Chains A and B, each alone.
Chain A
């Protein structure tokens, strides 16, 4: 038997205008965790889609155990015991965990589902690999982490030997990521061969045995993890050394830019308030970071600041102007720029081209319209300026449809648009989510440049490294309240973690907790 369970040799795949894979070779050993590293658009997903039968290569061969195989569709891949956990899960929301797991390979007797048998098998598998799931819970009711475990169980239920994980940590909390790492190690120890796609270097260093690096569709080589460092990997991936530490000028806080007082924002998910009486300020020339675990009111707070969501009470002032009741457009014109957390849902009109997206916040300005008619020439030349200034890469330049651009370049477009407005206050929620190190470095540099230019920056982040690295002041948000305020040099990641998890809160926050308690008591009397 061959040493390698899967070999992809000289795979080439071309899309219109892009060579996604250029003679890429990848060899997966039996029983190893093999990472596939590369920036967004480097061709990782294409390569894995070829292995999973979603695309056909233009040239090159795939071998399993030394035998050349043809994989025309995911069913072929399944027959070859190849399974894949996609970045966006492929689950039926209204089905239970159990139903999702056996969907497609249902055990039946005379057309009747053998539930008990399937349940038994799933329970055995979940015990063996430490994948705790609730077989009878509906997918829509369980956490993202458990949904991912369902996806893994789907592969195991089908006796897959080769497991592909496409950016599995992008959607997880730090705690869930640790669990996943343990699961992956467990799977390897049970003899599974694992392909782990990621652009997060720390995770790769932690969990994988070997790593193949792709850059712009080309294979930059395969290295043993124990012989390499984060710096080496990042250099291979980006082609130049990466600055992990953000360079910042001295902190020179200026005038008060944003003043938020006792802000209360209702939640759309439940009856309680998402933001419960938050008070804070941001000055010119500083980056204030709102840290916290996802779902603790960050999104609602930012939507309230930018006017997208209605507030219950409290006030917001921008440079002394009361803007609590101002419209979204008024706030934007007064100098708030907003880099939204979901660039597809809020940040871009995916079916518009890049030029139309770049003027989304200012198309009504005289520079871009005359008597209501769009000045196409001006829009185009403005877009071209931003494209070169912010190094946005798009196949057909300003006429590229936003949907066809890579995630990193979509984000660059949003950042270019929001920063070029020359705002007084830049609000950014998770601006680096799902991006590779090169893009992250770029975005951090842009945020710091705004700060150094004397602008106020409010950054919402879930990544503690980012919080510690970029911010001048850290506010920890827990269940809609600020539970602590720190300077990054006076605190540690561990301490922040405790506050984020709600295990601790500082004195000032205790006061607001009491206020909240009396608030709920009052509510209780009403109901």
Chain B
């Protein structure tokens, strides 16, 4: 038994996992303190909502999966780029472009859902390629360009949507002109299928998008860790000079990495707004889904498989946050998430501490166990 635990502890990545879980734990405790401060009488109820609302009913659980899917995609957009040495803070803009491409092709061109999703990926890829090109050929920091492209993306999409009457809700008889059409009215074929899941879960939120996101995450994992393409991408990320020395085309890889990251975020926009339940509202604020990809990626230390779980977690406590209204403002959830991000930024530090403690544990165990067993 102890030998198995030791093996687990010594696995690379185990301390990252422990560090992330520790960050989550401390963040939740901080949230509880906030709840007590704001409304002591309801604090346990509120905390209970955060912890358990996501599994309190199949409807709520559907909501968790529904929001997790685009979060996985934006998380991958940040995490994939990060693995290759780029900080893609532009997932929001790429998500916006994906949204636009999905809505436009789905409604105006009457694309079926899968083709509209592919179009969304193309849209995100274009928006991701821009900072990539600037970085590769002019050495402009991708953080600056991608922030600017977030805003360009937002306003460009707003202007475009506002001037295409067919995509707007009032074209189909709804009273609000500031949002896009209900997909059921505009093109039912563009709604992502539910494959009977809505019957099982009894919720209109559920569809196959969560599984699409999981499949993409698994593919991303394999590309990064099992292919020579991923080998090259990561080589450029870790050490650009050495990859140039090895004859790797670093410029091409920077652009490709941003294109792939952008297509992930674009797909995120597509699966959210082709769900049939979401309608895009023309507003002057950036959607949070893109930025929330950053904590999702950080929490998972950019591991694509870890991103599935961190996105589920973030979505889970967001559903909890909605459930504790009106006793508490749901912004408390944003604070908790911020604390967790803040702590996960310390994950390196936490990792060091945790590793030390684990090593101590292992050593004590090794000494007390039989002497014939020698540590490698």
Near B by CB (< 8 A), chain A positions 319-362 give 327-330, 332, 338, 340, 345-352, 356, 360-361
Q: Is the CB of A369 within 8 A of B228?
A: yes
CA–CA, A368 and B359, complex, Å: 35
- Structural contact, B245 and A352, CB atoms closer than 8 A: no
Q: Known contacts A351-B238, A363-B231: does B246 contact A16 (CB below 8 Å)?
A: no
Residues of the B chain whose Cβ atoms lie less than 8 Å from the Cβ of A356: 231
- Cross-chain contact B245 with A347 (CB below 8 angstroms): yes
A interface with B by C-beta (< 8 Å): 16-17, 306, 308, 327-330, 332, 338, 340, 345-352, 356, 360-361, 363-364, 368-369, 372-374, 376, 396
Query: How far is the CB of A405 from the nearest CB of chain B, in Å?
Result: 15
Q: Give the chain B neighbours of A376 by CB distance below 8 A.
A: 226
Selected from B231, B248, B359, the residue in CB contact (under 8 A) with A374 is B231
A372-B228 in contact (CB<8A): yes
What are the residues of chain A within 8 A of B227 when measuring CB–CB? 372-374
Closest to A332 in B: B247
Q: List 26 A-B contacts (CB under 8 A).
A: A16-B359, A17-B376, A308-B244, A327-B247, A329-B247, A330-B247, A332-B246, A338-B245, A340-B245, A345-B242, A346-B242, A347-B245, A349-B238, A349-B239, A350-B238, A350-B239, A352-B234, A352-B235, A360-B242, A361-B247, A363-B231, A364-B228, A369-B228, A374-B226, A374-B231, A396-B376
Contact of A360 among B229, B235, B359, B375 (CB under 8 A): B235
> With the chains together, A373 CA to B239 CA distance in Å?
22
Closest to B246 in A: A360
Residues of B within 8 A of A332 (CB): 246-247
> Quick check: is B357 within 8 A (CB to CB) of the other chain?
no
List A contacts of B226 (CB < 8 A): 373-374, 376
In Å, the complex CA distance between A329 and B243 comes to: 11
**Taking the complex as formed, is B139 at the interface, i.e. its CB lies under 8 A from any CB of chain A?**
no
The residue in chain B whose Cβ has the minimal distance to the Cβ of A353 is B12
In the complex the two chains form, is B242's CB within 8 Å of A374's CB? no
Closest partner residue, chain B, to A361 (CB atom): B246
> In this complex, which of B226, B239, B376 has the most chain A Cβ atoms within 10 angstroms of its Cβ?
B239
Interfacial chain A residues near B228, Cβ < 8 Å: 363-364, 368-369, 372-374
Q: Which of B61-80 contact A (CB under 8 A)?
A: none
Main secondary structure on chain B at its contact with chain A?
Answer: helix
Determine the residue in chain B with the shortest Cβ distance to A396: B376
Residues of A within 8 A of B242 (CB): 345-349, 360
Which residue from B243, B247, B359, B375 sits with its C-beta under 8 Å from A349?
B243
> Can you name the residue of chain A whose Cβ is closest to the Cβ of B359?
A16
Q: Lowest 10 CB-CB distances: which A-B pairs, in order?
A: A329-B247, A328-B247, A346-B245, A351-B238, A360-B246, A349-B239, A369-B228, A349-B238, A372-B227, A345-B241
A427 to chain B, nearest CB (A): 12
**B contact residues, range:** 20 to 34
* C-alpha gap A340/B239 in the complex (Å): 14
Q: Is B241 in contact with A346, judged by CB distance below 8 angstroms? A: yes
In this complex, which of A352, A356, A376 has the most chain B Cβ atoms within 10 angstroms of its Cβ?
A352
On chain A, the residues within 8 Å of B234 by CB distance are 352
Task: Check B229 against A349 for contact (C-beta < 8 Å).
Answer: no
Contact of B245 (CB < 8 Å), options: A328, A351, A369: A328
Interface residues of B in 218-234 (CB under 8 A from A): 226-229, 231, 234
Q: Which label, helix, strand, loop or mixed, suits the secondary structure of the A interface?
A: loop
Q: Is the CB of A372 within 8 A of B244?
A: no
Smallest Cβ distance from B125 to chain A, in angstroms? 20
Which of B229, B231, B245, B248 has the most C-beta atoms of chain A within 10 angstroms of its own C-beta?
A: B245
Contact residues in A for B238 (Cβ distance below 8 Å) = 349-352
Within the complex, the shortest CB–CB distance from A183 to chain B, in Å, comes to 35
Q: A residues within 8 A CB of B248?
A: 329
Chain B nearest Cβ from A155, distance in angstroms: 30
Residue ID in chain B nearest A306 by CB atoms:
B245
Bound together, the chains give a CA A328 to CA B241 distance in angstroms of: 12
Whole-angstrom distance from the CB of B13 to the nearest CB of chain A?
13
CB distance from A13 to the nearest CB of B (A): 14
A347 to B227, CA, bound (A): 22
**Could you tell me the distance between the alpha carbons of A373 and B245 in the complex, rounded to whole angstroms?**
22
Please indicate the chain B residues that have their CB under 8 angstroms from the CB of A374 in the complex.
Answer: 226-228, 231
The CA of A256 and the CA of B227, in the complex, are separated in Å by: 39
| Interface 1/0 per residue, B344-374 and A, CB below 8 Å | 0000000000000001000000000000000
Bound complex: CA of A352 vs CA of B236, how far in Å?
11
Which residues of chain A are near B375, meaning CB under 8 Å?
Answer: 17
B229 proximity list for chain A (CB < 8 A) = 372
**Which partner residue on chain A sits nearest B236 by CB separation?**
A349
Sample of 10 more A-B contacts, CB < 8 Å, known A306-B245, A369-B228, A374-B227: A328-B244, A328-B247, A332-B246, A338-B245, A346-B245, A347-B242, A349-B238, A350-B238, A360-B235, A361-B246
CB distance from A479 to the nearest CB of B (A): 26
Q: Considering the chains assembled together, what is the distance between the CA atoms of A174 and B376 in angstroms? A: 43
Residues in A with CB closer than 8 Å to B231 are 356, 363, 374
- A372: shortest Cβ distance to chain B, in Å? 5
Q: CA–CA, A137 to B247, complex, Å?
A: 40
Chain A residues closer than 8 Å to B243, beta-carbon distance = 349
Provide the residues of chain A in CB contact with B376, threshold 8 Å: 17, 396
Inter-chain CA distance A369–B230, complex, in Å, is 12
Interface centre among B227, B228, B234 (most CB of A within 10 A): B228
In angstroms, Cα B228 to Cα A360, docked, is: 11
Residue in B226, B234, B242 with the greatest tally of chain A CB atoms within 10 Å: B242
A17 to B244, CA, bound (A): 34
Q: Which partner residue on chain A sits nearest B230 by CB separation?
A: A374
Interchain CA distance A153-B197 in the complex, whole Å: 74
Interface string of B239-258 (1 = CB under 8 A from A): 10111111110000000000
B248: nearest residue on chain A (CB-CB)? A329
CA distance A17 to B241 in the complex (A): 31
Say how far A396's CB is from chain B's closest CB, in angstroms.
8
Residues of B within 8 A of A373 (CB): 226-228
Closest to B363 in A: A16
Q: A16-B359, A372-B227, A373-B227 are in contact. Are A349 and B235 (CB under 8 A)?
A: yes
